[in-house]
Structure 1
Amino acid sequence: MRHTLFTLLAVIILISACNRSSDSSNKIYIGGQIVNPNVEYVILSRNNNDLDTLPLDSKNQFGKHLEGLETGIYTLKHPPENQILYVEPGDSLMIWLNTLQFDNSMNFSGRGSEKSSFLLDMFLNNQKDNDLIISNSKIKPGEFAKLTDSIKKVRADKLKKLEKKYKLSEKFKNIASTVINYEYYDLRERYTYLIEKYYHEFTSEVPAGFYNYRDNINFNNEDLQNYYVYTNLIDDYLRSRSIEDCDNIPDSGRECYNLANYKNIKRRILLVDSLINLKQMKNEFLDRLASRGITMADTKEGVDSILNVLEQVNYSYLEEARELANIHRNYFVGTDVNNRVLLNTNREETTYNSIIKKPTIVFVWSMHEPGYHMWQHRNIQQLRKKYPDIDFIGVNIDEGETKEWLRTVEAYNYDKNFEYQTSKRNIDKKVFRKYIYKIFFISPSGVIVDGDAKIQSPNFETEILEFLNR
């Protein structure tokens, strides 16, 4: 029923759009409807440059003919979320989505919509690949090679069917084929990491040619630099390579597999500097690694080491990194946080001293990383049930955006009894948001006893048990 209504809406709006413009062959029409909107507009951007803002009307609909847009991938932003779309001159793209399930609810229709739908499907498949990898991580490399070949064929066959049904441009066919290849490469990179770390005996059974695809990775693909499937591949490749390089260091041991270790992060920073030339993408990777390296360091040596390598590669935001380092130095193990001020969901100020009554795990999150905070909260909810002797507290760091924070808590049904927002920090929000990967284990007396834990780590629950037994 939802899609039937949306199709009727799309037809009406597209007919109206065509009537308003007799010559739309060089224009692109983008319109649609958003259910449960977060804000009263959407933004069209490309390569981190906002191109146009389209306001929502009283029915939460938007639409506009746009001129001068080049063929390619764009980002549709509806803060704090976003998703990609693909357009060419002459396209009339209609978008329907519900913010409560942003990516999974998104539906494209209209002229040229098949291209955006295909790329969205690839994006959603890539998100599911992690579960696929974990469920197949114990199979031998030869079997996994056959599995990835099969998955690649299914994707390629789907593209062939699309080509038969629609007249696709050569540029889109090239991009779609590349995306299929990159998802295939990424499956193998993720598997490589798991067997290197957990099933090292399999590494000697990797078939010849398993890694030949690495010669085909273009680390400077301008068309795909904003597309998750591509950037995720590069991220996973950097992870694998950093471990392989570490394995060649005498007596390196298991330290190689600690992705939060500042030495590992230094290796990835140097790899980014040597492989990526696209300024925007290079800065994004360096920014992510710089944030991770600084916030995960548990000593002054670690923090200073990351700052030194960032200076070495001429990192564009070195001053922000130094400010983040100054913030982090206040959260080393042994720090007393009792008097730090927070805001509860009733908009009342409180302190950690008033909140902490027993062993507490604090996880930090931002509305501007929706995929991550949803994943965080899903995992935390399971841990709450499993470890009732621990309080799990979520601290949102989007200070000053209290209304939006409360709306997000409500929209995602997060437990208001355990949700707080930072207050009176007087810290640059842009810098503070780089702190979202932090987990703090805090004693009943309000002292940080561990700041290096990671929810995604397979050892996380072991660390929880050690925390309880202190």
Structure 2
Amino acid sequence: MKYYLLFFLIGVILFTGCNDSQKDQKGTFVGGQIMNPYNPYFILSKDNETIDTLFLDQNNQFGKNFKDLEAGIYSFNHPPENQIMYLEPGDSVLVWLNTMQFDESLNFSGPGAAKSSFLLDMFLNNERNNNLMLSYYKINPSEFAGITDSIKNTRKNKLKDLNEKKKFSESFLELANNSIDYDFYHLRERYTFLVKKYYNELAQQIPDDFHDYREDLNFNDTQLKEYYGYLNFIEDYLRTRSIERCLEEYDTNSDCFELHSVDNIQYRISLADSLIKKEEIKNIFINRLAIQGLVFSNNAEKIDSILGILEDIKFSGKNLPDLKQMAGIQKSLLPGNNIGNLSLTSFQEDTVSLKEISDKPIVTYHWSMEAPEHYKWQHSIIATLREKYPELEFVGINIDKDSHQSWKNTIEIYGMNREREYKLNPAKIKVNLLKNYLNKLIFLDTNGNIVNGEAQLNTPNFERQILEFLNN
């Protein structure tokens, strides 16, 4: 199949021309090939707005010449996967990937592709560094500072060497250098949070100059607003500052690491509101933090408090109606409410209500085909729990709209229990809102009353919650 792509690339180069002036006139070409595609399309977007949907041909190839794309970071999706690329007028970039190993197989080629390849290399290195953080945060701050300095210098030198060969534009060089810096800052912020939480002795050894970079931070860099490293840094910075502020104001025995408390959410939202002036960046974090606060609220008062925080800062982002709907969803899932009449579709395509499924107490878990790693991990754990707790009925609820056949195919391919898998019938709720509940399980008594609406598979006290449920 790569031979088809080679001929495709030759055609692209001939079509777009070779010199800079010709390229500028012809615009920007984006094409490629997807092996083992999940679906027949490739979506190019920027600033959360779809630019175009390119459909795959019989060879799983796609391509289009765009006339008016501005220079910058773009996102591309082959649902459920996504990544970023950097495009400038005159580029002719081909994307090749195999969905069996999406990020690892991803390859960019053609004129201008080196910029995207550099960002991809940064992403893969960051993934490896994230895994190493599990051991990095156990070392002393001075040693950790040396490691992060080395990572930063290595990347700067690589960019310098690459630029000598590729002659990058000034705008890309600025973005690439800033992305290296913010990845470096992100490591420092994550380390600070982890040692303050788990190793107070190490936290006391953090040198005064460890966070010197904080004096030069830019929370309004619109050029980086699609770069995951920049967004991850801001999120971790807000989190770390909330912990530092709490530890400074209260004694160390206080619940400073309760990240979903109303007090913590309020501080982080207020901090984001004061630091970030660009609405398109600010709204990302206000929305994220409000969702966290709502999803983890265990009573109506806390839910109303989160909405009150948004009113206090006069938040008017386009997601405000969604957040208000989220508040309603969360209130409906509080203990004491009844959801036994929730309408579902069985594998055999019969319509049933949740309470009709079993005479046993029910534990619901929720999944989406757009999160394959999540549902594979989730169903593996559920299979074990079914054997361990036969007195409970574990019921899977798929939240995706439509796609009935794809849902059935997924159940068959991954060997899920078709007798205990159901699909949520259409409701006036956006699927993106329901995705915030993929990690949650709901415990129901035999009448459909909610006993526990905040259990999560990935928490250490989950099985204790099951035992408490059984003993009620």
TM-score (norm 1): 0.87
User: Deviation at 1:346?
Assistant: 4.4
Letter in 1 for 2:373: M
- Tell me what 1:12 maps to: 10
Q: Which runs of 5+ in 1 are unaligned?
A: none
- Tell me what 1:133 maps to: 133
**1:210/1:61 CA distance change after superposition, 3 Å:** same
Equivalent pairs counted in the alignment come to: 464
Whether the aligned pair in 2 keeps the contact of 1:311 and 1:318 (CA below 8 Å) is: no
The within-5 A match list for 1:298-313 is 298-313=298-313
Whether the aligned pair in 1 keeps the contact of 2:386 and 2:394 (CA below 8 Å) is: no
Q: Mean alpha-carbon deviation: is it higher for 314-323 or for 285-294?
A: 314-323
Whether the aligned pair in 1 keeps the contact of 2:369 and 2:407 (CA below 8 Å) is: yes
**What is the CA–CA distance in structure 1 between the aligned matches of 2:304 and 2:369, rounded to whole Å?**
29
Letter in 2 for 1:325: A
The superposition leaves residues 225-284 of structure 1 with CA deviations (integer Å, 9 ceiling, x where unpaired) of 011111111111111112222223436845221222232222221122111122222222
User: Deviation at 1:392?
Assistant: 5.7
The superposition leaves residues 37-73 of structure 1 with CA deviations (integer Å, 9 ceiling, x where unpaired) of 3443323221122223323223221111111211111
User: Deviation at 1:115?
Assistant: 0.8
Is structure 2 residue 57 aligned with structure 1 residue 57?
yes
- Tell me what 1:188 maps to: 188
**1:423/1:386 CA distance change after superposition, 3 Å:** closer
Q: Mean alpha-carbon deviation: is it higher for 384-393 or for 32-41?
A: 384-393
Letter in 1 for 2:334: F
Whether the aligned pair in 1 keeps the contact of 2:46 and 2:75 (CA below 8 Å) is: yes
User: Deviation at 1:11?
Assistant: 2.9
**1:428/1:112 CA distance change after superposition, 3 Å:** closer
**What is the CA–CA distance in structure 2 between the aligned matches of 1:331 and 1:187, rounded to whole Å?**
37
Q: Mean alpha-carbon deviation: is it higher for 347-356 or for 164-173?
A: 347-356
Q: Mean alpha-carbon deviation: is it higher for 444-453 or for 41-50?
A: 444-453
User: Deviation at 1:289?
Assistant: 1.7
User: Deviation at 1:464?
Assistant: 5.7
**What is the CA–CA distance in structure 2 between the aligned matches of 1:208 and 1:218, rounded to whole Å?**
21
User: Deviation at 1:17?
Assistant: 2.9
User: Deviation at 1:344?
Assistant: 3.8
Whether the aligned pair in 1 keeps the contact of 2:355 and 2:446 (CA below 8 Å) is: no
User: Deviation at 1:143?
Assistant: 2.1
Is structure 2 residue 345 aligned with structure 1 residue 343?
yes
The within-5 A match list for 1:272-351 is 272-315=272-315, 316=317, 317-351=319-353
Whether the aligned pair in 1 keeps the contact of 2:16 and 2:92 (CA below 8 Å) is: no
**1:394/1:280 CA distance change after superposition, 3 Å:** farther
Q: Mean alpha-carbon deviation: is it higher for 433-442 or for 283-292?
A: 433-442
Is structure 2 residue 43 aligned with structure 1 residue 24?
no
**What is the CA–CA distance in structure 2 between the aligned matches of 1:253 and 1:359, rounded to whole Å?**
38
**What is the CA–CA distance in structure 1 between the aligned matches of 2:275 and 2:347, rounded to whole Å?**
45
User: Deviation at 1:308?
Assistant: 0.4
- Tell me what 1:44 maps to: 44
Return the structure number with greater relative CO, CA threshold 8 A, min gap 6: 1
Q: Mean alpha-carbon deviation: is it higher for 254-263 or for 334-343?
A: 334-343
User: Deviation at 1:30?
Assistant: 0.7
Q: Mean alpha-carbon deviation: is it higher for 432-441 or for 281-290?
A: 432-441
Whether the aligned pair in 1 keeps the contact of 2:42 and 2:54 (CA below 8 Å) is: yes
- Tell me what 1:267 maps to: 267
- Tell me what 1:389 maps to: 388
**1:421/1:110 CA distance change after superposition, 3 Å:** same
Structure of higher CA gyration radius: 2
Seq. identity, %:
42
Query: Secondary structure at 1:44's aligned position in 2?
Result: strand
**1:13/1:468 CA distance change after superposition, 3 Å:** farther
**What is the CA–CA distance in structure 1 between the aligned matches of 2:296 and 2:331, rounded to whole Å?**
11
Whether the aligned pair in 2 keeps the contact of 1:10 and 1:109 (CA below 8 Å) is: no
User: Deviation at 1:219?
Assistant: 0.8
- Tell me what 1:230 maps to: 230
The superposition leaves residues 160-181 of structure 1 with CA deviations (integer Å, 9 ceiling, x where unpaired) of 3322332222221221111111
User: Deviation at 1:333?
Assistant: 2.3
The within-5 A match list for 1:347-366 is 347-355=349-357, 361-366=363-368
Q: Mean alpha-carbon deviation: is it higher for 380-389 or for 255-264?
A: 380-389
**What is the CA–CA distance in structure 1 between the aligned matches of 2:213 and 2:415, rounded to whole Å?**
42
User: Deviation at 1:103?
Assistant: 2.7
Is structure 2 residue 413 aligned with structure 1 residue 415?
no
Q: Mean alpha-carbon deviation: is it higher for 59-68 or for 418-427?
A: 418-427
Q: Mean alpha-carbon deviation: is it higher for 23-32 or for 291-300?
A: 23-32
Counterpart selection for 2:429 from 427, 430, 441? 427
Query: Secondary structure at 2:34's aligned position in 1?
Result: strand
The superposition leaves residues 77-127 of structure 1 with CA deviations (integer Å, 9 ceiling, x where unpaired) of 333432211011221100112334333332111111111011112123323
**1:457/1:170 CA distance change after superposition, 3 Å:** farther
User: Deviation at 1:461?
Assistant: 5.9
User: Deviation at 1:299?
Assistant: 0.6
User: Deviation at 1:405?
Assistant: 4.2
User: Deviation at 1:379?
Assistant: 5.6
Q: Which runs of 5+ in 2 are unaligned?
A: none
**What is the CA–CA distance in structure 2 between the aligned matches of 1:9 and 1:461, rounded to whole Å?**
56
User: Deviation at 1:455?
Assistant: 4.4
The superposition leaves residues 356-404 of structure 1 with CA deviations (integer Å, 9 ceiling, x where unpaired) of 6767654434445x4xx52464265257447842476543322334345
**What is the CA–CA distance in structure 2 between the aligned matches of 1:410 and 1:230, rounded to whole Å?**
40
Whether the aligned pair in 2 keeps the contact of 1:296 and 1:451 (CA below 8 Å) is: no
The superposition leaves residues 407-438 of structure 1 with CA deviations (integer Å, 9 ceiling, x where unpaired) of 66667x47354643322544344544444453
Query: Secondary structure at 1:181's aligned position in 2?
Result: helix
**What is the CA–CA distance in structure 1 between the aligned matches of 2:166 and 2:78, rounded to whole Å?**
29
Q: What's the C-alpha RMSD, in Å, of the aligned pairs? A: 3.1
